[in-house]
């Protein structure tokens, strides 16, 4: 089973390391020969039609001078096969027709996805996700104002807004619309011009 190498966007590069070993001694590393970008095949969502272009794919045999350790890099920003790399898809990567220890091999070497995992839009930040899978929202980190229509009915727990929760003088004359007094009076009197007596 090839390793899953993570979720990316179409500006990033996927790097897939893999190893080759001797057929006589599985613990002995050997190099791979005649491996080129054309030998790397990338499939989309389990389809049998591989990416038509080798552009953006590079291979490093015996990476860092170490026998038997290799690296395939895939530049997802290369759009030579238009629309092949797309958000919401998963990709399977294999090598075909290469030679290891004198034998021709075909092998799956890894998988990756594009835009399938919820993650922050800014690198280095974390996303608060509940144990049940919901993404949390810290209102202290929300920019912009929420309108009344954006607040669901019943969003506040009973008794959540109390006198203690509202700072003294938080609602003054300047915070009230010019006709607020009239609207309050009409709500109390039913809209009629009635006098209130003790």
Average pLDDT, the chain: 84
List of domains in the chain: 4-114 (2.60.40), 153-189 (no CATH)
- Smallest CA-to-CA distance from 21 within 99, 93, 101 is with 101
Answer positive or negative: Cα dihedral of 22, 25, 26, 28: negative
- The pLDDT tens digits of the residues spanning 138-169 come to 666 666 666 655 655 556 666 677 777 777 76
- The pLDDT tens digits of the residues spanning 78-98 come to 999 999 999 999 999 999 999
- Smallest CA-to-CA distance from 49 within 6, 98, 83 is with 83
- Considering the entire predicted model, what is its pTM? 0.66
pLDDT band at 131 (very low <50, low <70, confident <90, very high): confident
CA distances (Å), origin 156, targets 91, 145, 152, 159: 44, 17, 9, 8
- Smallest CA-to-CA distance from 119 within 132, 135, 131 is with 135
- Check residues 119 and 156 and name the one with the higher pLDDT: 119
């Amino acid at each position: 089973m090839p390793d899953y190498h993570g979720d990316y966007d179409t500006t990033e590069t996927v790097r897939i390391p893999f190893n080759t070993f001797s057929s006589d001694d599985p613990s002995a590393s050997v190099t791979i020969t005649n491996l080129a970008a054309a030998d790397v095949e990338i499939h989309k969502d389990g389809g049998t039609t591989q990416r038509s272009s080798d552009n953006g794919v590079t291979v490093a045999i015996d990476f860092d001078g170490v026998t038997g350790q290799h690296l395939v890099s895939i530049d997802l920003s290369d759009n030579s096969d238009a629309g092949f790399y797309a958000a919401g898809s998963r990709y399977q990567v294999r090598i075909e027709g290469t030679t290891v220890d004198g034998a021709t091999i075909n092998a799956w070497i890894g998988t990756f996805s594009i835009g399938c995992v919820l993650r922050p839009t800014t690198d280095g930040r974390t996303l608060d996700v509940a144990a049940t899978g919901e993404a949390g929202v810290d209102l202290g980190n929300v920019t912009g104002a929420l309108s009344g229509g954006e607040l669901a009915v019943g969003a506040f727990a009973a008794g959540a807004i109390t006198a203690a929760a509202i700072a003294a003088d938080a609602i003054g004359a300047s915070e009230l619309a010019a006709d607020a007094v009239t609207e309050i009076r009409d709500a109390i009197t039913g809209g009629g011009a009635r006098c209130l007596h003790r």
